Amino acid sequence: MLEQVAKLIGDEIGADKVLTSYSDMYVYEFDATPMFRGKPDLVVRAFSIDDVVAVMKIANERKIPVVPRGHASSLTGAAVPSQGGIVLDLSAMRKIEVHPEDGYVKAEAGATVAEVDLACNEFGFFLPPDPASADTATIGASIAENAGGMRGARYGSFRNWVLGMTVVLPGGKVFKLGAPVFKQRMGYDLMQLFIGSEGTLGVITDATLKIIPQREGLVRFFSYFRNIREVVDVIQDLKRSKIDPLVVEFMDEETLKCVNEAYKTNFRTDGIALMIDIDGYQEQLDAVAGRAEEIIRKHNPLELDKARGGEPKAIELYTARKASYPAISRLNKIVLIEDLTVPLSKVPDAFSEAKSIGRKYGISIPTFGHIGDGNFHPTITFRELTKENLELAKKIFEEVSDVAIKYGGVVSGEHGIGLQKKASFVRMLESMGSSELIEYMKRVKELFDPNGIMNPGKVF
Amino acid sequence: MSELLLNPEELKSITEYCKKCGMCLSHCPIYEASDRLESVSPRGKLIIGLGLLSGELKLDETLSHKLMSCVLCSECVDFCPAGLDIPNLILGARISSKVYEALPESLAKVIENIKTKGTPHGKDVTEKSKWFDLVGEVEKEGDVLLWSGCTSALTNPNLVATAYKLLKKLEGGSVTALRDEPCCYAMYVYTGNLDAYKEEMLKVIERVKEAKAKVLVSLCPACTRSFRIYSKLVGIELPFRVLHVSEYLHEKLVKNGKKIALPNPVTAAYHDPCTLVRGLGVRDKQREVLSSIENLKWLEMKGTRNCCGGGGAYGLYQPDWSAKISSRRLRDVPEGVKTIITTCPTCEATFKKAIKRENLDIEVRDLVTLVYEGLKE
């Protein structure tokens, strides 16, 4: 039957946009999660909204699953066609229009976050959310996953920056949601439903995002503290002192060991590294940075280094933090990254408990992340890829997820639920006494997607 | 730049470090030229390679096409979080899956050309000797042997003749070259046939030995890699040194503090051949040579790392996508600059085609011609 569907879609939008060969299906089985695979029945490469509309009409009539896909850098299995069907590859839709005069950028779904940011930089603006995967993560997928990033300490995740979007619903109906203005009241804010919906409601084909002027300067501090509690104390003290850092990141001892092993560096491994960026106008930067430095020093760091943005030292320090995940990837074949987010005051306990689970199983759980907003990534690692290791990794993953629930947080801050966190998501809702919410979500889905074709099996 | 892995188990084990994160995608010229077709992206090719190694996929012409869709530029390598040498893993997958047994037609034709005519371009090997007529006598033996490579000799005999005269001038002694110079057979490695490569390379080495050369100076980075790296892969120890011409010029000019001055000022952008800079790890020497030339103001291209589109003999295989890449690369020439300098005959030929196609007013020069001009009395 799907041969017939492929032909129908091909007749509508051009046969060259429809892939059916075994090898093409094979490469679309994956995303960046090691434990999930699913073979699509066909892949459609959309080059325009008309292509998307055609697919959504045909798929809906025949109740064929549709999995919208950008660059599949998802860490939760969200882009895996676990129930077959059509993978709708949006990566070739990548037009970008910057409107500096009105402070927004409009981008098609397949443009990468880095491409959009770079286009804004040419006009002296930037896009605040900065997922670590910005080089590859696409705008459509970043919105569908409500991605965050290092600047989340101040700017939060994508949700805070989307002003409008175009979505195509099953059946081919096109809706424009939101508007390119910073204040908007349009009844129920249905646009927000699509942010973080993980492709389960419809296909986001373009988005309008608020952008802001680039800052003039930056001072980067890189310090080490004896334990996580001291790190949190520093962050809380900074905030009490009316300092609002742009970036607040940390790497624990095990992460630093991985960086040293993978890159032959010599970062100290007897403490927790804390990176803080203070930005601002040139006239005020030294004063604010000076005040921040005073506060950091007051907490007796084991070591404190600093550099101004653009200096080689600043790049080196940033590279060290950015190297966390790559270093872990270089050393381990199984890397399951958690995405716990708890209130800042609970981070020390949650962090320690996550680490103790690693010790219990005798494995390494290097942990790093965006501590400024309580979002951190205990990373379950195994050097070798075996079935046994993968099964154990999954078990440990669930156990570590529960730590976020215990401390009143969430199992995902920025990566999403996908396939990987479905079970812990349910446990989280149970712990909140809100299990029924899943039913409400299903009813919302039904409204937009009565045939249940959109990325089925994800989230719930 | 890591070692090319030949043991399938080892190859599979290393490829398994790929997390499928896709950080390589945005840095692949083929992925861009294909309007982002996953199966020809670095990640897609690694997945296919792994599928072949694990037995989940069986080689056919479609898979062979995917695996061969790579300019081997190594642009992706620095962006792989797992630190994988992706082109080498793709090359390893080509070798272990014997991709040469199911080559797409256009590539099979290239191999056939090498077998029957001695060059990949479909021209007879005797045509490679045209440049001999431009220099008078070429010595039959000599300490230094000029290796032109098929592309230089067939598309730009004047360059080879200039290189020969330059080497003569710098050596002050005997410089030899091979009449009807054989192919370097890198194409056999690209298509995964190491046995055929070894058999032919041994014959090539005999020809160089007959010329009594102690140093082989190659105009072509791909030929240099074939001699220097691929020969080791099949267990051949070369009885002579192999230098790319930029390394040779560095030894002769920069190390000796020799002055070169162009008669008239030239402003140019320098394009790095991928095979030279990332395949062979030569990054500074060619720049130092350029900087030593008086009256030359040279600039880096915007995006210093981008490929011209011709790497890995890709222009012979998929001229359409190769053309897209080269047109894209021309946009990296800094504004107002009318000259591109490079030090690779394939880059030069690829650019010249693109410039003609785009109707641009830009000339392309090899480093050799600049140095020769600067050394003229």
Report pLDDT digits (tens) over B186-243.
Answer: 999 999 999 999 999 999 999 999 999 999 999 999 999 999 999 999 999 999 999 9
Whether residue B116 sits in one domain with residue B218: yes
Whether residue B96 sits in one domain with residue B33: yes
Tens digit of each residue's pLDDT (9 = 90 or more) over A55-71: 999 999 999 999 999 99
pLDDT at A317 over 90: no
Tens digit of each residue's pLDDT (9 = 90 or more) over A366-416: 999 999 999 999 999 999 999 999 999 999 999 999 999 999 999 999 999
pLDDT at A355 over 90: yes
Selected residue of A329, A377, A389 to mutate for chain B interface (largest B Cβ count, 10 A): A329
Question: Pick from B48, B68, B102: which residue ends a domain?
Answer: B102
Whether residue B84 sits in one domain with residue B132: no
Helix A324-331 and helix A253-263, axial crossing angle in degrees, nearest 10: 70
- Please check whether residue B2 lies inside any domain of the structure: no
pLDDT at A190 over 70: yes
Kindly determine whether residue A333 and residue B16, on different chains, have CB atoms separated by under 8 Å.
Answer: yes
Position B274 confidence tier, pLDDT thresholds 50, 70, 90 = very high
pLDDT computed for residue B1 by the predictor:
58
- Identify the sign of the CA torsion A172, A175, A176, A177: negative
pLDDT at B260 over 70: yes
Which CATH number is A96-213 given? 3.30.465.10
Chain B CA closest to residue A330: B82
Residue B300 sits in a domain of what CATH number?
3.40.50
pLDDT at A194 over 80: yes
Position B272 confidence tier, pLDDT thresholds 50, 70, 90 = very high
- Pinpoint the residues of chain A covered by CATH 3.30.43.10: 2-91
Question: Pick from B102, B129, B159: which residue ends a domain?
Answer: B102
Whether residue B148 sits in one domain with residue B234: yes
Give the mean model confidence (pLDDT) for residues B251-262: 92
Chain B CA closest to residue A34: B19
Whether residue B261 sits in one domain with residue B156: no
Tell me which residue in B23, B48, B63 faces A136 most closely, judged by beta carbons.
B23
Give the mean model confidence (pLDDT) for residues B37-59: 96
Give the mean model confidence (pLDDT) for residues A87-106: 98
ipTM: 0.94
Whether residue B171 sits in one domain with residue B37: no
A332-415: what CATH class? alpha beta
Give the mean model confidence (pLDDT) for residues A22-34: 93
Whether residue B266 sits in one domain with residue B245: no
Nearest chain A CA: its distance from B183 CA (Å): 33
- Please check whether residue B238 lies inside any domain of the structure: yes
Sequence-distant contacts of B306-309: CB under 8 A, at least 24 apart: B306/B29, B306/B75, B306/B332, B307/B29, B307/B71, B307/B73, B307/B75, B307/B274, B308/B271, B308/B273, B308/B274, B308/B342, B308/B346, B308/B347, B308/B350, B308/B351, B309/B29, B309/B33, B309/B71, B309/B350, B309/B354
Question: Pick from B58, B77, B102: which residue ends a domain?
Answer: B102
Kindly determine whether residue B16 and residue A385, on different chains, have CB atoms separated by under 8 Å.
Answer: yes
Chain B CA closest to residue A23: B63
pLDDT computed for residue A316 by the predictor:
85
Tens digit of each residue's pLDDT (9 = 90 or more) over A216-242: 999 999 999 999 999 999 999 999 999
pLDDT computed for residue A308 by the predictor:
94
Whether residue B109 sits in one domain with residue B98: no
pLDDT computed for residue A1 by the predictor:
59
Chain A CA closest to residue B63: A23
Residues of A in contact with B20 (CB under 8 A): 30-32, 72
Residues of B at the A interface, defined by Cβ within 8 angstroms: 16-17, 19-23, 25-27, 35-39, 43-44, 47-48, 51, 56-57, 62-63, 66, 79, 81-83
Give the mean model confidence (pLDDT) for residues A23-41: 94
Give the mean model confidence (pLDDT) for residues A133-146: 97
Residue B18 sits in a domain of what CATH number?
1.10.1060.10
pLDDT computed for residue B377 by the predictor:
54
**What share of chain B has pLDDT > 90, as a percent?**
91
Tell me which residue in B22, B38, B48 faces A32 most closely, judged by beta carbons.
B22
Annotation: CATH topology of A2-91:
3.30.43
Residues of B in contact with A262 (CB under 8 A): 83
- Please check whether residue B3 lies inside any domain of the structure: no
Which CATH number is A217-325 given? 3.30.70.3450
Whether residue B368 sits in one domain with residue B262: yes
Kindly determine whether residue B81 and residue A326, on different chains, have CB atoms separated by under 8 Å.
Answer: yes
pLDDT computed for residue A217 by the predictor:
93
pLDDT computed for residue B28 by the predictor:
95
- Please check whether residue B222 lies inside any domain of the structure: yes
Whether residue B244 sits in one domain with residue B119: yes
Total count of domains within chain B:
3
Q: Which domain holds residue B277?
A: 257-375
Whether residue B263 sits in one domain with residue B142: no
Nearest chain B CA: its distance from A366 CA (Å): 16
Whether residue B295 sits in one domain with residue B347: yes
pLDDT computed for residue A35 by the predictor:
86
